[in-house]
């Protein structure tokens, strides 16, 4: 019989008295390394609901749904973990740089795929004249705050800042198909309706 070499004997003895390299997962948790890319999660207070993450997602794992009812609405962004490839593009290209993070959670096992999601919901700003979606309130406020005093060059942004300061009075809802006129300047209007209003003022009906 071939006798073990001294080095092999030493290794066998040290392995006998040292801790194993493997862990008893799932009976004890596996701690992922620092740079691990796990389930994406929205950070409610940092996300502005702009939807840029959905546009850069290569796996189409982020669903954007908008529910509009009259003059109000919500935009919901849903990350489907069963479609996600954990590439981190959403985090990298997030507009605010902090709206979505890849956590170190790796366990995606579930009996129901609809549970494998993470969501965020934001209020929409709707054009008071034609009813189209202008953007989310937080998105417009975020841009206005970034621009500082220059934001007052844009009436929509100025209105958001005034509303935040409680300086904006209540306006009666516009009746459908009502013509637009100069009193509508203090309403939230989409760029198309705002242009119509300015042209109306310059050239008349
Ligand atoms: S702020 Fe970031 S996380 Fe939120 S919708 Fe925009 S890109 Fe996505
Ligand atoms: S990690 Fe990649 S695949 Fe997953 S939601 Fe973000 S961009 Fe999409």
The domain spans of the chain are 34-126, 129-205
Answer yes or no: is the C-beta of 84 below 6 A from any ligand 2 atom. Answer: yes
- Residue range 175-186: mean pLDDT, rounded: 75
User: Best mutation site among 56, 83, 90 for ligand 2, i.e. most ligand atoms within 8 A of its Cβ?
Assistant: 90
On the question of pLDDT at 3 being above 80, the answer is no
**In the block, residue with structure tokens 């070499």:** 5
Answer yes or no: is the C-beta of 180 below 6 A from any ligand 2 atom. Answer: no
Percent pLDDT > 90 in the chain is: 49
Residue with CA at minimum distance from ligand 1 atom 8: 53
**99 vs 174, which has greater pLDDT?**
99
Across 147-151, 172-176, 186-190, 198-202, the highest mean pLDDT is recorded for 147-151
pLDDT of amino acid 55: 97
CA-to-CA distance for 14 and 24, rounded, in angstroms? Answer: 21
pLDDT of amino acid 172: 73
Answer yes or no: is the C-beta of 144 below 6 A from any ligand 1 atom. Answer: no
Domain with residues 34-126, CATH architecture = 2-Layer Sandwich (3.30)
User: Best mutation site among 40, 52, 95, 119 for ligand 2, i.e. most ligand atoms within 8 A of its Cβ?
Assistant: 40
Atom of ligand 2 nearest to the CA of 79: 5
Q: How far is CA 176 from CA 109, 156, 204, in A?
A: 49, 21, 21
Run of H or E including 68: strand 62-69
């Amino acid at each position: 019989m071939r006798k073990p070499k001294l080095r092999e004997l030493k290794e066998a003895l040290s392995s006998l008295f040292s801790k194993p390299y493997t862990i008893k997962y799932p009976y004890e948790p596996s701690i992922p390394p620092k740079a691990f890319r796990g389930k994406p999660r929205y950070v409610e207070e940092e996300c502005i609901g702009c939807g840029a993450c959905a546009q850069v997602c290569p796996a189409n794992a982020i669903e954007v749904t908008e529910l509009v009812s009259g003059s109000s609405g919500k935009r919901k962004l849903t990350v489907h973990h069963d479609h996600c490839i954990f590439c981190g593009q959403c985090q990298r290209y997030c507009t605010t740089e902090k709206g979505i993070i890849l956590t170190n959670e790796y366990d995606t096992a579930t009996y129901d795929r609809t549970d494998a999601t993470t969501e965020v919901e934001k209020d929409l700003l709707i054009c008071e004249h034609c009813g189209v979606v202008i953007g989310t309130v937080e998105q417009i406020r975020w841009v206005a705050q970034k621009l500082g005093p220059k934001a007052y060059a844009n009436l929509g942004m100025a209105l958001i800042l005034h509303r935040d300061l409680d300086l904006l009075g209540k306006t009666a809802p516009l009746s459908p198909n009502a013509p637009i006129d100069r009193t509508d300047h203090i309403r939230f209007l989409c760029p198309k309706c705002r242009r119509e209003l300015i042209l109306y003022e310059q050239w008349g009906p």
